[in-house]
Amino acid sequence: MKPPHKLDRTRQAAPQVFERLREMIVSLELAPGTVLSRAELAERFQVSQTPVRDALMQLGQEGLVDIFPQHATLVSRIHLPSAQQAHFLRCAIELEVVRTLALDDDDAIVAKLRAQVDLQAALAGGEPEEFIAADHAFHRMMYVAAGAPDLYDLVRRMSGHIDRLRRLDLPSDGKAKRVVRDHRRIVDAIAKRAPEAAQEALREHLSGTLGRVDDIRERFPDYVTA
């Protein structure tokens, strides 16, 4: 048993357990197929089994765990159709987001996006989780600037499977640099007030991981299922 994970006692326990477990699943700290024991999790989070049960049920709704009543709860394998649907949703929304930003003519937003890309570039080659956090921050910044922060939250909730695919793909040679390059291309197009170019750069950026899915499946056959 790992050391206890302390919760914020000013907040409800179940959402915190959910957030932490989801983070551990998406980062692959909890790999597909890992057995999740309610009793062990309750001990680790120093809570009763009720908030653990509630957190696991929410993870089940996102397809990140498989719950077998009276038997076991397992971290789910990465489901390709779910990853593809999440990609479809994200692409549909973000194409409109970058178009909106390119038509807005807001130099302040462009400056903020450039600064975020510079930060991410500095993190390339370092800790993967810091790089991924900077990546999420870049995309969220665009949603907020386009007046659609709630849609970002929706996309994040749907993205557990494809985020795990991206996590498996990140160590690939040059992957982090390609992500930074793509982000620069998107921002450059927004700065030039070129909505079509911004959309094309975004479309290419988002297609990277799914374009490598056969290679990912070959390297991690026990993690991915169709």
Whether 118 and 159 share a structural domain: yes
pLDDT in tens, 18-37: 999 999 999 999 999 999 99
Residue 125: predicted pLDDT: 83
DSSP 3-state of 147: coil
Residue 3: predicted pLDDT: 61
Tokens, residue 6: 């302390």
How many Å apart are CA 79 and CA 198, to the nearest integer? 30
Residue 2: predicted pLDDT: 62
Whether 72 and 87 share a structural domain: no
Q: What is the DSSP letter of 212?
A: G
Tokens, residue 26: 């998406």
Q: Do the beta carbons of residue 13 and residue 51 sit within 8 Å?
A: yes
| pTM as predicted | 0.88
Q: What is the DSSP string of 33-73?
A: T-B--HHHHHHHHTS-HHHHHHHHHHHHHTTSEEEETTTEE
Given 59, 76, 93, the domain boundary residue is 76
Whether 100 and 56 share a structural domain: no
Structural domain span for residue 94: 79-225
Whether 156 and 99 share a structural domain: yes
Given 76, 91, 113, the domain boundary residue is 76
Phi-psi region of 34 (alpha: psi -120 to 50; beta: other; left: phi over 0): beta
Residue 1: predicted pLDDT: 47
Whether 174 and 85 share a structural domain: yes
Q: Which residues of the chain have pLDDT under 50?
A: 1
Whether 59 and 87 share a structural domain: no
Would you say residue 60 lies in a domain? Answer: yes
Report the number of distinct structural domains present in the chain.
Answer: 2
How many Å apart are CA 21 and CA 64, to the nearest integer? 10
Residue 156: predicted pLDDT: 95
